[in-house]
Amino acid sequence: MTTTDGPTLADTLPALLGSLGTTIDGSPAITLPPARSAVLLLVDGLGRELLTEHAADAPFLASMPDAGPLTVGFPTSTPISVTSLGTGLPPGAHGTLGVRFRVDATLLDALTWTQGTDDLRERLRPEVVQPRPTLFERAAAAGVTSTVVSDRAYRESGLTRSALRGATYRGVVAFGDLAAETLTALAEPGLVYAYHADLDQLGHLRGPGSLAWRWQLRQIDRLVAMLAEDLPPGTLLAVTGDHGMVTVDRRHDADTHPDLLLGEPMVGGDPRARLVYTRPGSASDVLTAWRATLGDDATVLTGDEAVEGGWFGPVDDAVRSRVPDVVAVTRGGTAIVRTEGEPVLARLPGQHGSVTDAERYVPLLVHAAGAAPIVRESRT
């Protein structure tokens, strides 16, 4: 985790802005063909390995040139990836360190911006929790119009305000709506970011690669093919994901196992990457207990080791207090569940968050008729 070979998900929007002639922070890590407008469709849960394994279900996607693979940040979950995408920064810089992470002694759920049933958007304002300017704000300052096309329920969500502010929001309810609003937004030159969640949802509920998941992938493939047919001339279309997914077959319960309860830690993160915040003086005992209990099922390290190892990327001093005391990253098909605190999530067969290739690599598929070759810079 100390180096990244090649571009990351955070490099995607700068590359698309570069195709529009707008440079953000120097030359982009990926050079894309010049375009009048650019569309990025993020399919939640579209991992590169899953797409490769099921290419027969997605012939159009499989035929698109891949400017990736892209590496997503750690943990490999939606709020971390979407915030890196929206800011162009690694987790340690934007401060969204997990699905659930500690902010001012509160375990914040970054997907719902809640703790339990409490809405935290006023007490922990998203613009304060994540104060770094988004690429949409920076694009607007450079004269580029940006649009976000996503579920209408997410319009005022904490994650939208944290990661995607600065763009015009077009709320949608279904596939057809997503395509229509994307095309409508392209009436004027600019950047469009579209998001679709259903593949991830079916992966969680039925398992990645399940029959239901494959049928959803087929629908997405047809959507992209039809969208490509109707794009205005001079439009660049890119398709990516925010993480992959694996099927879990072994579970440790952090809510009932006595050794994982030692010291009464605050357990955040998600089932494949747990962030553990300990009470004063108990960190060493908690670390020892989690290592002994999880054994070969997980890599368990201190927060300091995670920072030094580059797991979150360079960590800003302003967000250092959010780094957990203990990090537990699962291997194979293992999950660390919370049957009492997260009863629904604990039962789901599909999970993500760890650093396996299946979870951390996503494609960057590009459609541009008559485009020049895509150029990647390999970086360490």
Alpha carbon distance 123, 58 (integer Å): 44
93-123 pLDDT, tens digit per residue, is 999 999 999 999 999 999 999 999 999 999 9
Return residue ranges of the chain for CATH 3.30.1360.110. 248-351
Alpha carbon distance 109, 101 (integer Å): 7
3, burial (CB in 10 Å: exposed 0-12, middle 13-18, buried 19+): exposed
Buried b (16+ CB within 10 A) or exposed e, 155-164: eebbbbbbbb
**For range 302-330, the mean pLDDT:** 97
Which residues are within 8 A (CB) of 369 and not within 5 positions of it... i.e. 6 or more apart? Answer: none
- Regarding the domain with residue range 248-351, which homologous superfamily does it belong to in the CATH classification? Domain 2, Phosphonoacetate Hydrolase (3.30.1360.110)
DSSP 8-state secondary structure symbol assigned to residue 110: T
Going along 189-312, which residue ranges are E strands?
191-196, 235-240, 246-247, 250-253, 266-267, 273-277, 298-302
* Predicted pLDDT at 22: 94
* Predicted pLDDT at 26: 85
Q: Are 85 and 10 in contact (CB under 8 A)?
A: yes
Count Cβ atoms below 10 Å from residue 245 Cβ, excluding itself.
29
pLDDT category at 1 given cuts 50, 70, 90 is low
pLDDT category at 25 given cuts 50, 70, 90 is confident
Alpha carbon distance 354, 270 (integer Å): 9
The mean pLDDT of the chain is: 95
CATH topology of domain 9-246+356-376: Alkaline Phosphatase, subunit A (3.40.720)
* Predicted pLDDT at 380: 38
* Predicted pLDDT at 272: 98
Q: Which residue intervals of 145-234 are DSSP H helices?
A: 158-163, 175-185, 198-206, 211-230
Percent of residues, the chain, with pLDDT higher than 90: 93
Return residue ranges of the chain for CATH 3.40.720.10. 9-246+356-376
Taking alpha carbons only, the member of 363, 354, 245 closest to residue 9 is 363
pLDDT category at 341 given cuts 50, 70, 90 is very high
* Predicted pLDDT at 136: 98
221-247 pLDDT, tens digit per residue, is 999 999 999 999 999 999 999 999 999
294-307 pLDDT, tens digit per residue, is 999 999 999 999 99
Q: Are 315 and 94 in contact (CB under 8 A)?
A: no
- pTM flag (> 0.85): yes
